[in-house]
C-alpha cells in the first residue's frame, strides 16, 4: 500500500509550519526540498540538526531528499570531472549524508537540460536529432549511480519537463541502459504531459511499477503550442481522467513507496498553503 506525503515547501518553506499543516491533514511522509532560505544539501550542520529535531518532534518520516542535483546543465557542454559536474557531485554527496541522517534511502537527481529530439530515422537522424546526446547522458550519470551503489542509497531521477528524461518511456529506457538497481524513476506524470505522454495507460505501462522509486502528484492545464502551464486543484486539470485509473493500478500492482502531493497550486488571492488545503482531500481520497 502506498504511503502519502507532501513536498514540505509546497506548504511553506518554514519547516515547522509545513510539518504542522501536513500532520493536521493526516500525511505522514515529508519530502524535503527547500527549508527556510536554502535548498536541501546546502544546509549547514546546525541547520540540519534543527530540521532533524523538528521532523522527530512532529513524528513524521522523511521520504526523499530532493535537491536539484544535475538540473539545467547541457550534456554537450559538460564533462565528467569538470567544475560544474564536480560541484553537483559534491552536492549529491551532501544529500546522501543528509538522507542517512533523516533515515531515508532516496535521493533525487535531475537529468540535465532537455534536448528535444534524441533519436531519429529516415533522415531525421542526420538533420534534427541531437547526435550522441543520449550516450553522453549515460556517461554523465555513471558517477552518480556508482556513488549511490557505494553508499547503499537509491537515486530517484525525476521526469522533468525541462530535463533529458521527461517521460515514463525514457525513464524505463534509462533504467535499462544503465542497468543499476540503485537507479529508479521519480515519476511526475503531470510533468510528462508536456512531453505529450498520457499518464495512463501509456506512461504507467512504459515505466512499469518496478521502475518507480517515488511519485509526485499535481494537476495542471498544459498548452504546449503556447508553451504555457497553469497549475490547478487536483482533479480540475489535464490529469483528471488519469488519476482514478492510476490509483487503481498502483494498488493492484502493489506499489508500496511514497506518493508526494506536489503542492504548487496557488489560488488567486491566496498562498501555497491554501492551494495545499484545496487539493489534499482529493489526494487522500484517490491514493489513500
pLDDT, tens digit, 9 for 90 and up, residues 153-205: 999 999 999 999 999 999 999 999 999 999 999 999 999 999 999 999 999 99
Kindly state the average pLDDT of the residues 125-134. 97
Q: What is the pLDDT of residue 274?
A: 98
pTM across the whole model: 0.97
Q: What is the DSSP string of the chain?
A: --EEEEEGGGT-SSHHHHHHHHHHTT--EEEESEETTEETTS--HHHHHHHHHHHHHHT-EEEEE---TTBS--GGG--TTSHHHHHHHHHHHHHHHHHHHHT--EEEE--BS--S-----TTHHHHTS-TTHHHHHHHHHHHHHHHHHHHT-EEEEE--TTSS--SHHHHHHHHHHH--TTEEEEE-HHHHGGGT--IIIIIHHHH-GGGEEEEEE--EEEETTTTEEEE-STTSSTTHHHHHHHHHHHHHTT--SEEEE------TT--HHHHHHHHHHHHHHHH-
Q: Where are the domains of the chain?
A: 3-287
1 pLDDT higher than 80: no
Spatial separation of the C-alpha atoms in residues 202 and 249, rounded to whole Å: 13
pLDDT band at 77 (very low <50, low <70, confident <90, very high): very high
Q: Strands 34-35 and 38-39, how do they pair? A: antiparallel
Contact 190, 161 (CB under 8 A): no
pLDDT band at 14 (very low <50, low <70, confident <90, very high): very high
pLDDT band at 2 (very low <50, low <70, confident <90, very high): confident
Domain 3-287 grouped into CATH 3.30.950.10: no
pLDDT band at 85 (very low <50, low <70, confident <90, very high): very high
Give percent above pLDDT 90 in the chain.
Answer: 99
Kindly state the average pLDDT of the residues 134-139. 98
Kindly state the average pLDDT of the residues 133-147. 98
Amino acid at each position: 500500500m502506498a504511503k502519502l506525503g507532501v513536498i514540505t515547501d509546497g506548504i511553506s518553506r518554514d519547516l515547522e509550519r509545513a510539518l504542522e499543516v501536513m500532520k493536521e491533514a493526516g500525511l505522514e511522509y515529508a519530502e524535503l526540498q527547500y527549508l527556510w532560505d536554502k535548498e536541501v544539501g546546502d544546509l549547514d550542520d546546525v541547520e540540519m540538526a534543527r530540521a532533524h529535531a523538528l521532523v522527530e518532534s512532529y513524528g513524521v518520516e522523511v521520504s526523499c531528499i530532493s535537491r536539484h542535483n544535475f538540473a539545467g546543465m547541457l550534456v554537450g557542454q559538460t564533462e565528467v570531472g569538470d567544475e560544474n559536474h564536480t560541484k553537483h557531485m559534491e552536492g549529491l554527496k551532501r544529500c546522501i549524508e543528509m538522507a542517512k541522517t533523516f533515515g531515508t534511502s532516496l535521493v533525487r537527481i535531475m537529468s540535465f537540460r532537455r534536448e528535444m529530439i534524441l533519436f531519429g530515422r529516415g533522415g531525421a537522424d542526420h538533420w534534427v536529432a541531437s547526435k550522441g546526446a543520449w550516450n553522453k547522458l549515460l556517461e554523465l550519470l555513471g558517477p552518480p549511480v556508482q556513488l549511490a551503489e557505494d553508499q547503499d542509497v537509491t537515486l530517484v531521477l525525476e521526469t522533468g519537463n525541462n530535463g533529458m528524461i521527461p517521460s515514463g518511456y525514457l525513464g524505463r529506457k534509462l533504467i535499462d541502459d544503465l542497468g543499476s538497481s540503485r537507479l529508479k524513476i521519480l515519476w511526475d506524470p503531470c510533468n510528462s504531459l508536456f512531453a505529450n505522454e498520457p499518464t495512463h495507460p501509456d506512461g504507467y505501462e512504459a515505466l512499469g511499477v518496478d521502475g518507480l522509486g517515488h511519485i509526485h502528484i499535481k494537476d495542471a492545464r498544459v498548452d504546449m503550442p503556447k508553451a504555457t502551464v497553469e497549475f490547478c486543484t487536483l482533479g480540475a486539470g489535464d490529469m483528471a481522467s488519469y488519476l482514478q485509473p492510476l490509483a487503481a493500478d498502483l494498488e493492484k500492482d502493489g506499489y508500496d513507496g511514497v506518493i508526494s502531493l506536489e503542492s504548487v497550486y496557488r489560488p488567486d488571492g491566496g498562498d501555497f498553503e491554501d492551494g495545499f488545503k484545496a487539493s489534499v482531500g482529493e489526494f487522500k481520497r484517490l491514493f489513500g
